[in-house]
Amino acid sequence: MAAATHAHWSSRWAFIMAAVGSAVGLGNIWKFPYEAGEGGGGAFVLIYLLFVFFIGTPVLIAELSLGRRGQLSPIGSMKKIAQEEKRNPLWGLIGWSGVVGAFIVISFYSVVGGWTLAYMVKSAMGAFSGIDAATSQSTFVNYISDPVWTLVSHFAFMAITIFIVARGVEGGLEKAVTVLMPALFAILIVLVVYSGVTGDFNAAINFLFNPDFNKLVTNDAGNFSLDKVLQALGQSFFSLSLALGSIMTYGSYLTRDVNIGKSALTIAGADSAVALMAGLAIFPIVFAYGLDVAGGGGLVFMSLPIAFGQMPLGVVVGTLFFGLLGVAAITSSISLLEPPVSYIEEKTGLNRRKVAIYMGIAAGLVGVLSAYSQGNNLLSGIRLFGLDIMGVKDFLTNNIMMPLAGMFTALFVGWFVSRKAMMDELAMEDQTFRIWYFLVRYISPLAIGIVFVKIIYDTVVG
Ligand code: TRP
């Protein structure tokens, strides 16, 4: 039985905070700064921003529109709109991919979310005081290899997510994001200022913004390669939380009076601003303390603690930093639990509280496999195609399901939903509508298609 009507955001502000909360996540704070640094600084930043606004944002608009038009879970909305437009019900698969993909992603996202909580506590207890690089590394490896503590932190993170989602759109999501997101911005500003004053701000600016186009288009071996350009495109989609049903679900809670185009630009702008600010918070410290800029995931969990252990007020700064990561992760994970919860709720008519608890526990249990696949933990020996379990889930969602669902979403809206329906949904000025329509029909699907083909080629040939 499909619920005739469900909850809605009580204001545009609440919706924007929720959507920005979904977009701003672990990806912004450690992945983006690192990729930008590796990809030629300003050159990468420039091309990333072009991708966000010309390829990602049109799809963001498409997803929000589909959600609001359908007023159901991603699966329900896709089926309903396909039916209205007299199209094949198989378009519902986009919704399925989102709901299943979100379930898989939250099952490992919450593992890393748990690490950030654990590191917040470690930092507050002064665990980093005076540690050297070797100790920092062994602290991290020992932690992720510990079957008890990784389980505790993973379920603690999941419990917070469940607690928020169980309380529903107004009582849970809105309350959480309208407190957490302003807090996140405040912490970020404090960290940027502190880091700029005490660290090497000039080196950071130079590293992040000095455009080195040569570096952008060469690989480690020094040959011409578009790998980093394609990585920028993938990151732009990941960062905007596209193609996992989350944005479509948030769109379904929208009322008719909200302007989707303007909202999407605000969301994309805020998401990009946070990514850049995260770079400005991290790199002055990295340079001032001579840490390895190319640390990847280890940058945050292994390199930064060394600096926190030495700097004045390091306990406070470290705790704030991991708190920031934790908040960013929580506001993303609630949007990952939403698509499966909204679907089961709609399908079974059970109350949301029950569904959120069961779904969250189910994802938590599946997530144990990911948690135990890290470091030297219990399942770390299991390898599929050379990847550990977390890596397999990441590859499947990020490299296969998300590009496909994103591309088909753009194609559906651009070619299979009537132009009139979209004009009605978006209520844009003619000129703006024409630009969006062109991007969503041609540019977005083409760009995503190229990335997808490249991923498959690399996997099969490389
Ligand atoms: N945007 C999040 C980040 O930058 C990660 C993410 C990708 C996500 N897809 C999502 C979060 C869907 C929530 C929903 O870390």
Which range (57-66, 150-159, 392-401) has the least confidence? 392-401
Residue 70 has pLDDT above 80, yes or no: yes
Residue 3 has pLDDT above 60, yes or no: no
pLDDT in tens, 174-199: 999 999 999 999 999 999 999 999 99
Euclidean distance between CA atoms 377 and 218, whole angstroms: 36
Euclidean distance between CA atoms 254 and 233, whole angstroms: 28
CB neighbours (10 Å) of residue 233? 24
Ligand 1: centre distance to CA 398 (Å): 10
- Predicted local confidence at residue 453, as pLDDT: 92
- Predicted local confidence at residue 38, as pLDDT: 82
- Predicted local confidence at residue 1, as pLDDT: 40
Residue at token pair 């406070």: 316
Which range (218-227, 268-277, 305-314) has the least confidence? 218-227
Any atom of ligand 1 within 6 Å of the Cβ of 25? yes
The answer to whether residues 275 and 104 touch, using CB atoms and an 8 Å cutoff, is no
Residues recorded for the chain: 462
Any atom of ligand 1 within 6 Å of the Cβ of 397? no
Q: Dmax over Cα atoms in the chain, in whole Å?
A: 66
Euclidean distance between CA atoms 269 and 69, whole angstroms: 24
DSSP 88-135: -GGGHHHHHHHHHHHHHHHHHHHHHHHHHHHHHHHHHTTTTTT--HHH
Strand partners, 211: 41
**Residue of the nearest CA to atom 7 in ligand 1?**
241
- Predicted local confidence at residue 297, as pLDDT: 66
- Predicted local confidence at residue 295, as pLDDT: 63
Residue 298 has pLDDT above 80, yes or no: no
Of 40 and 86, the structure prediction assigns the larger pLDDT to: 86
Euclidean distance between CA atoms 31 and 22, whole angstroms: 16
Any atom of ligand 1 within 6 Å of the Cβ of 241? yes
Any atom of ligand 1 within 6 Å of the Cβ of 18? no
The answer to whether residues 157 and 352 touch, using CB atoms and an 8 Å cutoff, is no
Residue type at 193? V
**Residue of the nearest CA to atom 9 in ligand 1?**
241
Euclidean distance between CA atoms 437 and 260, whole angstroms: 14
pLDDT in tens, 304-358: 999 999 999 999 999 999 999 999 999 999 999 999 999 999 999 999 999 999 9
Mean pLDDT in the chain?
94
CB neighbours (10 Å) of residue 386? 7
Ligand 1 atom nearest to CA at 271: 4
Alpha-carbon distance values, 445 to 41, 248, 251, 263 (Å)? 27, 18, 21, 22
- Predicted local confidence at residue 308, as pLDDT: 95
**Residue of the nearest CA to atom 6 in ligand 1?**
241
Q: Is 5 left (phi over 0), alpha (psi -120 to 50) or beta?
A: beta
**Residue of the nearest CA to atom 2 in ligand 1?**
25
pLDDT band at residue 2, thresholds of 50, 70 and 90? very low
> Model pTM?
0.95
Ligand 1: centre distance to CA 235 (Å): 10
